[in-house]
Structure 1
Amino acid sequence: MSQTTIDEERNIAEGVDDEVVEGNRRVFEGWRFTAIAVAAGLYAAFHMAALTGLSISSLTGINLPFLPTFPMETWNFRIVHVAGALILGFLLYAPNAFPNDSTGETRTIGLLAMALAIPAILSLIVAFWFAFQINAGAQWNGMDATIKFRETWLFGAPLWLATFGGIALSWWHRRVRSGFAIPDMVLSVCAVSVAVYLVAIYGTLMRNSTGTPFAPIGISMAAVAGSALILEVTRRVAGLALVAISAVFLIYVFTGHYLPGFLNSPQIEWGRFFSQLYTDAGILGPTTAVSSTYIILFIIFAAFLQASKVGDYFVNFAFSLAGKARGGPAKVAIFASGLMGMINGTSAGNVVATGSLTIPLMNKVGYKKKTAGAIEAAASTGGQIVPPIMGAGAFIMAEITGIPYTDIAIAAIIPAVLYFVSVYFMVDFEAAKLGMKGMRADQIPSTRKLMKKIFLFIPIVILIVALFLGYSVIRAGVYATIAAVAVSWLTVNRMGPKKIAKAFEMGGIMSIQIITVCACAGIIVGVISLTGVGARFSSVLLDLASTSQLLALFFAMCISILLGMGMPTTAAYAVAASVVAPGLVQLGIGPLTAHFFVFYFAVLSAITPPVALASYAAAGISGSNPMETSVASFKIGIAAFIVPFMFFYNGAILMDGTWFEIIRAGITSIIGVYLLSGGVQGWFVLGRASTVTRVLLGLAALSLIEGGWLSDLIGIAFVAAAYAMHRFRDADTNASAPLSGGDEVSTS
C-alpha cells in the first residue's frame, strides 16, 4: 500500500466540514437551487458589506437609488436582518414531513394559499404606498382617523389574514422536498410587508410615539404579524420549546393582572404593548443587536473555515494528539468539540457536526451508546464557554452589561479550563474502569505531517490577537475571515470566487436558526422589560437572600436552567439574563460574576434532564435512549454545576485578584475537579474507590474548588483521609480493577 493511500485513510475527519441538511430542510434542484443559493449568499454578503461599510456606491462612487448605502440606520438594519432570516427560513424549512412523491401533495390547500397571496400582496403594495407618502412629507400619526382607517383595513387586516391564514395552511400543506410551498411563499411576502412598513414608519418621528396614543395602529398590527412569523420560523428551525415559553410570556402580558403576588402586573392594552414590542425594547433589542453584528459575522467566519476544510484539520489534529490515549476517540471529542463549539453558537449543532464522527468511534473502542452520546454532548456544550468567542455568548454579555468584551473573554479562561479538565478526567476514569486502550498509531493521522499545516490555525490566532490588541470585534472578525481565504491557498482546498460564493451561501443558511431564535428571545425580553416582572423577580431573590445567600443562588440556578431548557445558548442566556441577573446584582454580586453565573447555567441547560437538546441530538446519532443519555451527560459535566457557585465565593476564578491569588485559585480548582471526577467515577490513584473514599474525595474537591486558605487546608486533610482509606481499605478492589495498557495515558 502506498504512503499516499495510508495518509488518506488516516484522514478520519473527512466529511466534518460537509454541510448538514436538517430533516425538514428543502433540497432544491435546478433554478430553485440557484435562486436560494444566490439569495442566501447575498443575505450574508449584505451583512458583511453593512458591517464593514462597503457598498457599490462607496467602491465606485456611483449612487444608485435602489441599492442600500452603508452604514445603514440601526433600526432599519435590524428590521432587514430579521426579515431576511424569515424569508429564507420559510422558503427553506418545511413545517411538517415531506411526501414521498408528488401524489402525496395537498394541492387543494396550495390553491387556497394562492388566494391568500392577494391580501399579502395588497398589504405589501400599501406599505410601499405609505412609504412614498411619508417620504413626500405626509404627516403621520395615530390620532388621524383617515390614516387609522387606511392602516387598519388596507394594511393591517390583509396582513393578518395572509399571515395567520398562511401559517394555518402551511401546517396542513405537503409539498415534495425539492419544491417551493405556496403558503410559505405567502408568508415570505408578509415578512417583506412587515419590514417595508416598519422601515417607512420608523423613518419618521413615529418611533418616539410607541406606547402612546399617537402611535399609528399599523405599528401594532405589523408587530403582531411579525411576532407570529418569528414564532413560526422558530418552531421550524428550533422546535417547540422556545415557542412555548414565548407563548407563555405573551399570555402573561394580558393575564398578569389576574395573578397574585410578585407575578401580578398592570393591565396592558394590546395596541400599546405591541407598538413597543417591535422596537429596541423587545425584538429589535439586545438579542437582535448582537445577532445582526457579531453573531452573523462569526457564522460567516465559521462558514469560510468550513468551506476551506479547516474543520477537517481541527478534528484530525485532535485525533493525532489524543487518539493514542485510553478511550482515545472520547478525548478527541473533547478537544474537537471544544474547538468547533466555541464558533458554532449552538450545542446541538456542534453535536451533529462532530458527533457523527466521534460517537461511532467511541462505540467501536468499547463505550456504551449512551456514554458515547453523553461525552459528545458534554464536550459540545462546553464549547459554548470557551473564549474568545464562547458561542457568541460573550458578545451578548458585553452588549447587555456594557463590560468590555476582552474582560469577559479573559474572565472565562479558568472556568473553561475547569470544565474541560473535568470532562477529560471523567472520560479517562471511565476508560480506566473499562480497561480500554487507545487507538493504534496506524489508525490516526500523523502528528508530524499535521504540524506542517499548523498555519491553518492562523485565522483563529489572528482573531484572538486582533481582539486583544484592541481592534473592534467586527474588524477582528473580518481580518480572520480574510485570513481563512488566504491560508486556503496554501492547501489543496483553495478558495476561489466559487468557493467564496459558496461560503457566503453557507453562512446565510447557517445563520437562519440563530437569528430567528434571537428574535424570538427578543419577544420574551420585551415582555420582561415592558411588564416589569424581572424587577419583581429580583425582589423574590432578595427575600430569599435574607434567609440564605446560597439558597438564593440555588434558586437562581434552577430558574436559569428552567428558562434555558430546549433553547439554543444565545436565547437561553438572553432570557435568563433579563430575569435572573438583575436580582443577583441587587444581592451585591458584581455584574460580571452575576452574568457569568447565569450564562453558565443557561449553557448547561443543554445537558440537563429532562429537556436537554445537546444530549437528545447525541442520542439520535448514537441510537441510545435520550433520557439515559441526558442523565449520563449531566454526570459527566457535573463539575460545571459547581464551579459557578465558586464565582461568588472566590472571584479569582474569574481573574479578579492578584496574580498569586489567580494562579493559586486555578491550581487548587484543577486539583479539585480531578478529585471530584474521581469521586463521581469511583476511581482514585489507578484503582477503584469505595463509597467512603468517594465521599471523602467529593468533600475534598468542594473544599479545594472554593479556593480559600482554610478551605484548601480542609481539602488537603480530606485528600489525606481519602488516600489512607483507599490505600489500606480498598486494596482488594484495586487488585481486581483493570489497569492501563502500554499505549494508554495515565492522568494520575
Structure 2
Amino acid sequence: MSDKNNQDHTLSQEDQDALVKKYDVESSVRDLSGFVGKFVFFTLLAFSLYQVYFTVIYQIPAQMHRSIHLGFALMLIFLLFPARKKNLERGKLGWYDYLLAILSVGVGAYWPLNYDQIIARAGEMTQIDFYVGGLAILLVLEATRRAVGLPITIIASLFLAYAYWGRQMPDFLIHRGLDVDTIVQTMFFTTEGIFGTPLAVSSTFIFLFLLFGAFLVKTGVGQYFNDLAVALAGKRTGGPAKVAIFSSALQGTISGSSVANVVTSGSFTIPMMKRLGYRKEFSGAVEAAASTGGQLMPPIMGAAAFLMIEFIGIDYWSIAKAAAIPAILYFTGIWIMTHFEAKRIGLRGLDDEEVPDKKEVLKKLYLLLPIVAIVFFLASGLSIILSALYGIFTTILVGLLREEKFRKIYPIAFAVGGIAYIIYKAIVNGGLADGWFVGGLIAGTIATIVVSYFFDGNFADTIDALVQGARTALGVVAATAAAGMIVGVVTKTGLGLKLANSLVSLANEQILLTLFFTMVAAIILGMGSPTTANYVITSTIAAPAIIALGVMELPAHLFVFYFGIIADITPPVALAAFAASGVSGGEPIRTGVNAAKLAIAAFIIPYMFVLQPELLMIDATFWGLIWILFTAIAGMIAIGAGMIGYWFRKVYWVERILAVGGGLALIYPGGYSDTIGLVVFGGILGAQFLIKRELIGKPMPQRSRA
C-alpha cells in the first residue's frame, strides 16, 4: 500500500489532546491561564493532598469526607468544563460558571460545618437543609452533564422523576411515590443517595488508584510499555498490530479511559500498522479493541471494578484474580485474528532498524516494579488503600532511579528520612506506635523527593502527577454522585426487584435469554455512560435478574461489567473506535464494525464464565482449569479463522461456517459440545494441512511497504 495516509507519522501531543477532547467528554476541559488557571492548578493540587491525608493518615466521618470530596470536584468541574462544547475554544468563564463554583463550595462545606446538628436532627430537615439538598441535586446533575455527558444525566433525572411520580407508573412499576422532601432528604442527608456506595468508593479506592496511574505516566512507564512491546513483538508476523495489543493491554493499567488509551498508544502504533500494510479501518480497530480491553486487564482494572468490592462484599484481589483468565482470552482472541489477517494479506514484521535493542529495553525492566509491587501488596492481603499508597511511593522511587548519577544518593535519603521519623515517633510515644511503617515510608519518600528537588528538579513531576490525578478524577466523582442518586431511587422504591422480576419473566426464566437481554441493556447504557455509571445501573437492575436464576454474584457482576466496557467499540456509538479512526484516517463506523469483530471474544467470554464459573477460578481444579483453557483457546482459534477467512491458507465459506460453529461448541461448557467442537476443529485443521502441502515451496506473498 502506498497511499498518502501510510506516510503518517506519530501524532503530536497537541493532536492527541485534540482527539481526546473530541471523543472523550471527561477530557474536554478549558485551557485556563492567568489567575484562574493558577487557582485551578493549586486547587487540583490541594484536592490530591487532601485525599491522601484524610484517606490514609487522618480519617474523618464518612459524610464529611464525601461532602468535601464532592465539593472539590463540583467546583473544579464548573471552572474547567464549559456549559457548551463550542465554548471550549474560547477558554473563558461566564459569570454563571463562577456562581456555580461558589455554590459548589457552599454545598461541599455544608456537612462539615453542620455535622453535629445534622446528626442530632436524626433525619429531620430544616428549611435551609431542604434548599441546600435540592441545590446539591441540581449541581450534581449539571456537573455530570458537563463532565460526563448528557445520557447519564437524563437517566438520573428519569429515575428522580420515577421516584416522584410512582403512583402514575404502569402496574409492574407502580409504587406509592415519594414527596420532594423525602427525595431531597434521601439524596443528600443519607448514605443511600449522592453520598452512597459509588461516591464512597470514588473518595477512597478509585482516587488513590487514579493518582497511582498519574504517577506511572510521569515515571515514563507508558512509553516503556511501547518500547517493550516493540522489542518483544515487533518482528513477528504483522508485528505492529501485536505491538498495539501488547502495549494497550499494559497501558490499561495506567489509563481508566478507553479513548485516552486509544489516542496515547494509538498515535504510535496505528501509523506503524498502516506503513506495514494494514487497512486504515483495521489498524484503528486493532487499537480500539485492545485499548478498550485494557480496563478488563488485572491487576488494575477499570474504576467499576472497585465499586464491585462494595456491591459484592469481596476483596479486590479476588476480583482481579477472577478476571485474569477472561482478560487473557480476550487479548488472545484479538492476537489470533490480527495474526490471521497479517498472514492473509502477506504482511511481515518490522525491520531490525525499526526495533529497539532488546537488551537495552530489558535493562529498564525495573520500571515495571510499581506494577509488580501493586500485585504483591494486593495479593498479600494489604488493604486497597494502603496498596495504592505503597504503589504510589514505589512509583516515585522508581522514577527517581532513572537518573543513574543519583541512584546512590536517593536510597540514602529514603533510609535517613524513614529511620529519623520512626526514631522520633518512638521517642515521643515511648515505643513504636501504630502506623510506624506507613509513617516511615511516607517520611522516607518525602525526604527523597526533597533531595531530588535540589539535585535535578524532579519535584515538578510529583506536583504534576498530583494535579493530573485530581483532574482525571473529576468525571469519576460526577458519575458516581449521579449513579448514587440512581441507586438511592432503586433502593427506596424497590425498582431493582421489579425490573429483575420483569426481565426474568420476559426471558421466560431462560438463563441464555436473560443474559442476552442484560447484555443489550448494558451495551445501550454503555454507549452514552462511563463504565462506572453503567456498572452501577446494570448491577442494581440487571445483575439481580441473573442472580435470581441461580448464578453466583461474582460472575453476574462481571457479566454486566464486561458489556458496559465493550460498548466503547460497539456501533453505532463506539467512542473508542471513533477516536481510533481520528488517528488512522479511516471511516468511523467501519472501524467500529472491525473492532467489534476483533473483540468477538468479549461477546462470548461473559456467557462462558456465567455458565462455567471455573473460568473465574471459582471451585476450579488444576486439570479442570487446564482443559477449560485448552478448549477455550482452541475455540478462539477456530472462530478467528472463520471471522478472518484465513488460517494456514484461505478458509472458504463452508469452512468458515463450520469453524465458527465448532469454535462456539468448544467454548460452550459441556463434554458433548467439546467433543463436537474438537471433531470439527480437527477436521478443518487437517484439511488446512493437507491442502497446505500442495503449496510447499511457494512463498507467501509479501505486502510491500511504502
Q: Does the C-alpha gap of structure 1 residues 198 and 489 become closer, same or farther in structure 2, counting only changes over 3 Å?
A: closer
Q: In structure 2, what is the Cα distance between the partners aligned to 1:244 and 1:703?
A: 41
Instruction: Name which of 104, 109, 114 aligns with 1:191.
Output: 104
Separation in structure 1 between the aligned mates of residue 17 and residue 595 of structure 2, nearest angstrom: 26
> Residue 21 of structure 2 corresponds to which residue in structure 1?
22
Instruction: Determine which of 308, 314, 318 is the counterpart of 1:407.
Output: 318
The answer to whether the Cα contact below 8 Å between 1:566 and 1:612 also exists between their aligned partners in 2 is: no
Match of 1:333 in 2: 244
* Equivalence for 1:90: 78
Contact 2:213–2:253 (8 Å) recurs in 1: no
Q: Which residue of 2 aligns with 1:258?
A: 168
Native 8 Å contact 2:570 2:593 kept in 1? yes
Q: 2:259 aligns with which of 348, 357, 375?
A: 348
Q: Which residue of 1 aligns with 2:449?
A: none
Partner residue of 2:399 out of 488, 495, 514: 488
Q: Give yes or no for contact 1:85–1:516 (8 Å, CA) kept in 2.
A: yes
State the partner residue of 1:681. Answer: 644
Q: Quote the Cα distance in structure 2 between the aligned partners of 1:207 and 1:694.
A: 70
Query: 1:347-366 residue pairs with structure 2 within 5 A?
Result: 347-366=258-277
Question: Where in structure 2 are there 5+ consecutive unaligned residues?
Answer: 1-8, 23-27, 405-455
**Contact 1:13 / 1:316 at 8 angstroms: preserved in 2?**
no
Instruction: Write out per-residue CA displacement over residues 238-284 of structure 1, whole angstroms, 9 at most, x where no aligned residue.
Output: 32222232233233333343232423333221221121012321221
Q: Is this contact kept in 1: 2:487–2:540, CA < 8 A?
A: yes
- Cα deviation, 1:310-341, whole Å, max 9, x if unaligned, reads 21111111111111123222211111111111
Give distance in 1, aligned partners of 2:14 and 2:247.
10
Question: Which residue of structure 1 aligns with residue 37 of structure 2?
Answer: 33
**Alignment-derived partner of residue 166 in structure 1:** none
Paired with 2:698 and 2:132, the residues of 1 have a C-alpha distance of: 67
Q: 1:390 aligns with which of 285, 288, 301?
A: 301
User: 2:700 maps to which residue?
Assistant: 739
| Letter matched to residue 73 of structure 1 | P
Matches of 1:254 and 1:391 in 2, distance apart?
33
* Superposed CA RMSD: 2.9
CA contact (8 A) 2:82 2:93 kept: no
2:167 pairs with 1:283? no
Equivalent position to 1:450, from 345, 361, 366: 361
Contact residue 175 and residue 493 of structure 2 kept, 8 A = yes
Q: Aligned in 2, Cα 1:313/1:266: closer, same or farther, shift over 3 Å?
A: same
Deviation at 1:39? 1.1
1:526 to 488, 494, 508: 488
Question: Are residues 1:516 and 2:485 paired?
Answer: no
Q: 1:621-666, CA deviations, whole angstroms, 9 ceiling, x for partnerless residues?
A: 3333322222221111111111111112212101021112112212
Separation in 1, partners of 2:514, 2:602: 18
* 1:695-715 deviation per Cα after TM superposition (whole angstroms, max 9, x unaligned): 111122112212433322221
Matches within 5 A, 1:396-435: 396-435=307-346
Q: How far 1:16 moved relative to its partner?
A: 12
| Structure 2 Cα separation of the partners of residues 176 and 12 of structure 1 | 24
Q: Which residue of 2 aligns with 1:6?
A: none
Q: Which residue of 2 is the match for residue 58 of structure 1?
A: none
Which deviates further from its counterpart, 195-204 or 704-713? Answer: 195-204
Match of 2:661 in 1: 699
| Equivalences for residues 549-588 of structure 1 within 5 A | 549-588=511-550
Shift of 1:215: 2.8
Report the alpha carbon displacement of residue 743 of structure 1 after superposing the two structures with TM. Answer: 13
CA gap 1:386/1:265 in 2 versus in 1, 3 angstroms: same
C-alpha contact (below 8 Å) 2:642/2:656 kept by paired residues: yes
SS of the residue 1:22 aligns to: helix
- What is the rounded CA distance, in whole Å, between the counterparts of 1:642 and 1:505 in structure 2? 39
Relative to structure 1, the CA distance from residue 491 to residue 717 in structure 2 (aligned partners, 3 Å threshold; closer, same or farther) is same
SS of match in other structure, 1:578: helix
Q: Partner residue of 2:601? A: 639
Is residue 71–residue 109 contact of structure 2 (8 Å, CA) maintained in 1? Answer: no
Q: CA, structure 1 residues 596+192, in 2 after alignment: closer, same or farther (shift >3 Å)? A: same
SS at match of 2:329: helix
Which shifted more, 570-579 or 253-262?
253-262
Counterpart-to-counterpart distance in 2, 1:40 and 1:17: 25
Q: Is the 8 A contact 1:308 1:495 kept in 2?
A: no
The correspondence of residues 659-678 of structure 1 with structure 2, limited to 5 A, is 659-678=622-641
Q: Is the 8 A contact 1:91 1:188 kept in 2?
A: yes
Distance 1:423 1:495, change over 3 A: farther
C-alpha distance 376-737 of structure 1, shift in aligned 2 (>3 A): farther
Matched with 1:713 is 675
2:133 match: 223
Q: Distance in 2 between matches of 1:445 and 1:713?
A: 45
Cα 1:496–1:18 change in 2 (3 A) is farther
Determine helix, strand or coil for the equivalent of 1:293.
helix
* Kept after mapping to 2: 8 A contact 1:534/1:578: yes
CA distance in 1, matches of 2:355, 2:140: 45
Q: Secondary structure at the match of 1:621?
A: helix
Q: Identify which of 253, 259, 268 aligns with 2:178.
A: 268
1:234 alignment partner AA: T
Q: CA deviation at 1:44?
A: 0.9
Give TM-score scaled by structure 1 length.
0.80
Matched, 1:500 2:462: yes
State how far apart, in whole Å, the 2-side matches of 1:176 and 1:408 are: 42
Change (3 A) 1:547 1:587: closer
Identity %: 36
Distance 1:207 1:358 in 2: 59
Contact 1:432 1:738 in 2 (8 A): no
Report the Cα distance in structure 2 between the residues aligned to 1:321 and 1:742, rounded to whole angstroms: 22
Alpha-carbon distance in structure 1 between the residues aligned to 2:501 and 2:36: 54
Distance 1:680 1:176, change over 3 A: closer
Number of aligned residue pairs: 638
Moved more, 611-620 or 660-669: 611-620
> Contact 2:519–2:560 (CA<8 Å) still a contact in 1?
yes
SS of equivalent to 1:344: coil
The aligned runs of 1:162-181 (5 Å cut-off) are 177-181=90-94
Q: Is the 8 A contact 2:10 2:271 kept in 1?
A: no
Distance in 2 (alpha carbons) for counterparts of 1:617 and 1:647: 30
In structure 1, how many angstroms separate the alpha carbons of the residues matched to 2:503 and 2:576? 30
Question: What does residue range 542-621 of structure 1 map to in structure 2 within 5 Å?
Answer: 542-544=504-506, 546-621=508-583
Q: Where does structure 1 differ by over 6 angstroms across 4 or more consecutive aligned residues? A: 11-21, 728-732, 734-738
Task: Give unmatched runs, 5+ long, in structure 1.
Answer: 1-10, 54-69, 99-173
Distance 1:369 1:217, change over 3 A: farther
Opposite residue 563 of structure 1, the aligned amino acid is: L
Aligned counterparts of 2:271 and 2:501: Cα–Cα separation in 1: 49
Amino acid at match of 2:633: I
C-alpha distance in 2 between matches for 1:182 and 1:356: 38
SS at match of 1:422: helix
Structure-to-structure mapping, 1:71-220, within 5 angstroms: 71-97=59-85, 177-206=90-119, 209-210=122-123, 214-220=124-130
Deviation at 1:729, TM superposition (A): 8.1
Report deviation, 1:188: 0.4
Q: In 2, distance between residues paired with 1:623 and 1:223? A: 47
Structure 1 residues 17 and 521 mapped into 2: Cα distance closer, same or farther (>3 Å)?
farther
**Displacement after TM superposition at 1:31 (Å):** 3.5
The alpha carbon displacement at 1:726 in A equals 4.5
Q: Is the 8 A contact 2:504 2:510 kept in 1?
A: no
**TM-score, structure 2 normalization:** 0.85
| Distance (whole Å) between structure 1 residues aligned to residue 68 and residue 382 of structure 2 | 27
